[in-house]
Amino acid sequence: MSESPSIQTAHAPFSAKGKRLGVFVISYNAELLIQDTLRRIPEEIWREVEVVYVVDDCSMDETTRKAMDYPDPHGKLVVFRNRINRRYGGNQKFGYQYAIDRGLDAVVMLHGDGQYAPEMLPDLFRPLVEEDADVVIGSRMIRRRDALRGGMPKYKFVANIFLTWIENLLSGLSMSEFHSGYRGYSTRFLRRIPLWENSDEWHFDTHILFQARQADALIRELPIPTRYGDEVCHVNGISYGLNCIRSALLYRLHRWGLIRLNRYDIAPRSLVESRKLDDPYSSHSIILRRLRQMKLQGDKALDLGFGCAAIASALAREGVVLDGIDRDPRAVAESGTLFRHVFQNDLNRPDEIPLDEKYDIILAADILQFLVDPADFLSRLKKHLVKGGLLAVALPNVVNIQTRWRILFGQFPLHHRGILETQALHFYTLDSMRQLLVRAGWQVESMDVTSLPLTLIFPFLRKRRWRLPLWICRGFTVLFKGLFAYQGVFFCKNPNEADLL
């Protein structure tokens, strides 16, 4: 067995700053190295973290016993042994779920065979503690020559570069390497992703990085030393490489919208609704065209559940004075000075919203399906609309052809956005949308429908020279509204507005 390398790290004393941290020591057949790995964990890490937990993946040696025999003066060591071999990815799922269930704020995974330097733990934890990153990767390839000096075999060196290039190309990431096992995650990020949909095999690490890309998570890479010693490699390199390439190809197809994979069905941090203005037949574009027929300069508008505030931004450029309500603190924070007044409130609690004004325009786009009682909410809105004002409502059409097709084959495809959103409480057809508005006392002045969001699936269609597919899709949507409409867009007046003034 080779001696542990002497690794010097230059950093200020590490502090958890009140965060609950854990070190996840993933282990398999590491009886000769596990105690040395635990010994090399810096004293400041033992002092600051809440727990160091070893998860032995049903080793065929005495890894569990060796870990349990390690002297633990801090009383922070916990040892688990899987009853069956969960494989590398399956073992990570257990380890990260434990971090979530325990209520930790961040966790760093350390290999029990000592291949990755425990001395670097303070450096990996620091961006997570300071909330500068959601994902931290200890990379051996930032300084590639150091990887070779550390004993990385040349064939692994070349394969690492090649696979990383393919994975970056297909995912849109720009990682120095995808294949380091030295990783840290905030549990806030781990809660956002469908962790258990990932592979149980070695390319779990690839899947979770693609999930980070899909979630628009903050990824930070840090250089780490490379050490190849006497530890046994359990990876089938050819199978692993092919699985990585296959995963990258499938992820690209998912990004294009040609297939749907549950593991990447993640609500992104950067809200894609802003792109709807690139589609002339989206609900955003239809609403703006209708509003621009009005005298907008100096008008007052209320935007309910504004999200990325794409419509509000366009109206602001037209001279509209805007107020907004959204329950998402990130949306409120990102709205900046766009709104005159912005309220962080849940629309399901209308009595708690401090509104005492009347507006020329009220926008309720893609929001009513999430309300417990949308009819009551719509009825309450009438007192906030001036005489001659306009209410714009957009709702998804649940009987769109794509939903019908999937239900025909026994699926009910819930998503984080789209027609069947996971948080939606109600689903509507074009006819039931109109009935909802009429029951709430509104007069439907006009209605329109949106086409399938092809520009979100195929971004190149945003360019004018590629508009023919959009025109064809629009033609079918107008001719067969109930079947092809993606959303219904309704413009309403208050028939009893004279009584409310």
When computed from its CA atoms, the radius of gyration of the chain, rounded to whole angstroms, is 27
The pLDDT, as a whole number, for residue 262 is: 80
SS3 255: helix
The pLDDT, as a whole number, for residue 134 is: 95
Q: Are 52 and 22 in contact (CB under 8 A)?
A: yes
Q: Which of residues 416 and 191 earns the better pLDDT score?
A: 191
pLDDT digits (tens, 9 = 90+) for 149-168: 766 778 788 888 899 899 99
Sheet strands (E) in 269-384: 300-304, 321-325, 341-343, 359-365
At the topology level, CATH places domain 21-264 in: Spore Coat Polysaccharide Biosynthesis Protein SpsA; Chain A (3.90.550)
Q: Buried b / exposed e across 447-457, counting CB within 10 Å, b at 16+?
A: bbbbbbbbbbe
The pLDDT, as a whole number, for residue 445 is: 92
* Across 339-352, average pLDDT: 89
Alpha helix stretches (DSSP H) within 103-143: 121-129
Domain ranges in the chain are: 21-264, 272-500
Confidence of residue 4 (pLDDT cuts 50, 70, 90): very low
Phi-psi region of 104 (alpha: psi -120 to 50; beta: other; left: phi over 0): beta
* Across 2-7, average pLDDT: 44
Whats the size of the chain, residue-wise? Answer: 501
SS (H, E, C) 4-63: CCCCCCCCCCCCCCCCCEEEEEEECCCCCCHHHHHHCCCHHHHHHCCEEEEEECCCCCCH
pLDDT digits (tens, 9 = 90+) for 217-249: 999 999 988 766 555 555 666 888 899 999 999
pLDDT digits (tens, 9 = 90+) for 48-66: 999 999 999 999 999 999 9
Q: Is the pLDDT of residue 427 over 70?
A: yes
Pick from 26-40, 252-266, 319-333: least confident: 252-266
Q: Is the pLDDT of residue 313 over 50?
A: yes
Q: Rounded to whole angstroms, how far apart are CA atoms 184 and 125? A: 7
The pLDDT, as a whole number, for residue 100 is: 95
Residues 6+ apart with CB under 8 A from 176: 139, 141, 142, 164, 221
Q: What average pLDDT is seen over the chain?
A: 86
Q: Rounded to whole angstroms, how far apart are CA atoms 219 and 203? A: 18
Measured between alpha carbons, how far is residue 393 from residues 158, 287, 305, 365, 366 in Å?
55, 9, 12, 5, 7
- pTM, to two decimals: 0.64
pLDDT digits (tens, 9 = 90+) for 447-468: 999 888 777 666 666 676 777 8
The pLDDT, as a whole number, for residue 270 is: 43
pLDDT digits (tens, 9 = 90+) for 270-301: 444 455 666 778 888 899 999 988 888 888 99
* DSSP assignment letter at 203: T
CATH class of 272-500: alpha beta
Q: Are 302 and 321 in contact (CB under 8 A)?
A: no
Q: Is the pLDDT of residue 93 over 70?
A: yes
Q: Which of residues 276 and 361 earns the better pLDDT score?
A: 361
Confidence of residue 190 (pLDDT cuts 50, 70, 90): very high
* Across 431-458, average pLDDT: 87
Alpha helix stretches (DSSP H) within 320-467: 329-334, 374-381, 401-408, 430-439, 454-457
Give the bridge partners for 220, in sequence order: 136
The pLDDT, as a whole number, for residue 150 is: 66
* Across 468-487, average pLDDT: 87
